Amino acid sequence: MKRNVLKGAVMHCGSVRRERGKNMRLKLQGRIVFLVMSVVLVVFLAIIGGTTYLNRKESMEQARLLAMSRSSEFANQVQARLEVALDTARTLAHVLEGLTQGGVPDRAQVNSVLQRTLRGNPEFLGVWTCWEPDAFDGRDK
């Protein structure tokens, strides 16, 4: 009977060793899985971070180019409107200069020119001339 007891004890010790080997294998597998997953996570985060950075950089550049394009477009529109107003003012100045050089100008005629200029340019709020006292026709009071 002693042999059976000893054999059982030996067998029991052998099974403990087998379980310890399995636990060691599981621990090693767990470590390997943890390391692999850590590397995968770091690589994934690096790819996401790099992609986000590049997308943000590209978006900022596109926004800058769009802002420059739109501001240039609006500047050209404003310049065109101002050019129309300046051309009209220059033309009106030449017309009034011609009227005053031909002798004593008629105020009604000048008012008619100013009214036609205003009607012809609906974006204008008003049209007027400024003269030194008595410089236009000598009839200022």
The string of DSSP letters for 109-140 reads HHHHHHHHHHHH-TT-S-------TTTSSS--
For the segment 81-91, the average pLDDT, to the nearest whole number, is: 95
Distance CA 92, CA 118 (A): 11
Residue 11 in this model has a pLDDT that exceeds 90? no
- 10 pLDDT exceeds 70? no
Which tokens belong to 102? 């031909």
Residue 14 has pLDDT above 70, yes or no: no
As a whole-number percent, the residues of the chain with pLDDT over 70 amount to 84
- The Cα–Cα gap between 80 and 121 comes to 14
| The pLDDT of residue 121 | 93
**pTM across the whole model:** 0.54
